[in-house]
Structure 1
Amino acid sequence: MTISVHPGADDRDWGGRLPRAESIELDDDQRAARAEILERSARWAERSGFAPTDDEGGLIGPFTAFALRPEPGRAFNRWVQTDQRGSSLPATIREVVILTVGVAWQAEYEIYAHVAVARTVGLSETVIDGLRRGSTDGFGPDELAAYRFVDELVRTHRVADDTYAAAEEAFGRDGVLDMVHLTGMYLATSALLNAFAIPAPPIPDPS
């Protein structure tokens, strides 16, 4: 399945401050990394409902950075895959965590991608919209505990005792550890996206 970006966008500078991987001469390791991304990460992205490439097949989002610096890119993707396989958190709560980070950093592509993933795993549109607007109206207890923990950590760099206690009650010690790892993962992603001013396609209206 190929997901189109948006009409008339083929000439957009999808790499931001980075050159498109397809526009420069890559060395052997960079070419291999690009092929690996297209084979694995890009397929997962499309299954999750967001575009990892432009309409001509060029990498977009963080994927260009991973191709240009293969070893850090591979290490980061191993971290992501380890979390996806072994997290104690429900898929919907993972997306609450990721979107909370992305919105706090206003990382356009992260928000675009994980609104799609959140919809795919069944997070409600009420919660998705609330995360994007900073409103917790309609959140369930676990969604609220995850949001408050991560938002407080990201924005104040600390977590108050009552916020921590609510998160631990909801998810257990392992769940809190998994939330912190996931937060760090997407803080790194947000930093990469924002440092290189990487744009995103528009977020589709819910179908």
Structure 2
Amino acid sequence: MTTSAVPRLAPLPVLEWDENTRAVFRGHLKSADRYLSAAPDAPAMPGILGILAHHTELAGAWLAYNGLLIERPSVDPRDRELVILRVAWRSGSEYEWHQHVRIARGLGLTEEQVEAVRYGPQAPRWSPVQRSLLTMADQLLDRHRVDDHTWAQLELHFDNRQLIELLFVAGSYLCLAMVLNSVALQPDPDREERS
């Protein structure tokens, strides 16, 4: 996975955000005040938020939508992260990969599981449900649909609401990967993973 050495679009620095942009982020991110405080010990704004700040209306809609997938999921967050990691790996999105490796580890995925995501559903370490999730992600990326066999396997473990959510997770993170790759957003320095 390689990202262009020169970003095409730099994250908009917090000091350049107008009040409307700040209000949108405060309305959708629990942690917004930490980033926007300008305090000496304030954490650095994640690059993705600085990219979204270039389009305030879109940022508000995206943060509301993505907040549902991340903060109020109907599926186990570890299952969600497997799907996101597979999409990030297959799409070559370094930023998305690094961010979600950190999240996945925080949810209890092991180093071995994170590494196995790179090899997909054929890696021997997966349970049947994990294998089905990774197969679903690959099929969506390759054919833009889930085949009947994989769908039947997923139905053994997930209800209709969860199935719809999983499809939206894969599609949403592919969309985000395309944006991140196109603007050549670099991984956040304090969150980079060794690969």
Alignment identity in percent? Answer: 27
Could you tell me which of 31, 40, 48 is aligned with 1:40?
31
- Tell me if the contact between 2:28 and 2:67 (Cα under 8 Å) persists in the aligned partners: no
**Could you tell me how far apart the structure 1 residues matched to 2:43 and 2:11 are?**
11
Does residue 140 of the first structure (1) align with residue 108 of the second (2)? no
Q: Is the 8 A contact 2:25 2:32 kept in 1?
A: no
TM-score (ref. length: structure 1)? 0.75
Letter in 2 for 1:189: L
Q: Which residue of 2 aligns with 1:164?
A: 151
Residue 7 of structure 1 is matched in structure 2 by none
Q: 1:60 to 1:17 in 2, by over 3 A?
A: farther
Does the CA contact (< 8 Å) of 1:97 and 1:147 recur in 2?
yes
For structure 1, the residue ranges without an aligned partner over 5 or more in a row are 1-11, 45-54
Residue 76 (structure 2) aligns with: 90
Shift of residue 128, structure 1, vs aligned partner? 0.9
Give the RMSD, CA atoms, in angstroms.
2.9
Over 3 Å counting, the alpha-carbon distance change for 1:108 and 1:43 in structure 2 is farther
Q: What does residue 77 of structure 1 align with?
A: 63
- Specify the alignment match of 2:18 in structure 1: 27
Aligned to 1:203: 193
Give the Cα–Cα distance (whole angstroms) in 1 for the partners of residues 172 and 32 of structure 2. 16
Higher mean displacement: 104-113 or 22-31:
22-31
Tell me the number of residue pairs that the alignment of Structure 1 and Structure 2 aligns.
Answer: 182
2:90 to 95, 104, 112: 104
Unmatched segments (≥5 aa) in structure 2: 36-40
- The reply on whether 1:115 has 2:98 as its aligned counterpart is no
Who is 2:141 aligned against?
154
- Residue 56 of structure 2 aligns with an amino acid whose one-letter code is P
Give the Cα separation in 1 of the matches to 2:68 and 2:107.
18
TM-score (norm 2): 0.79
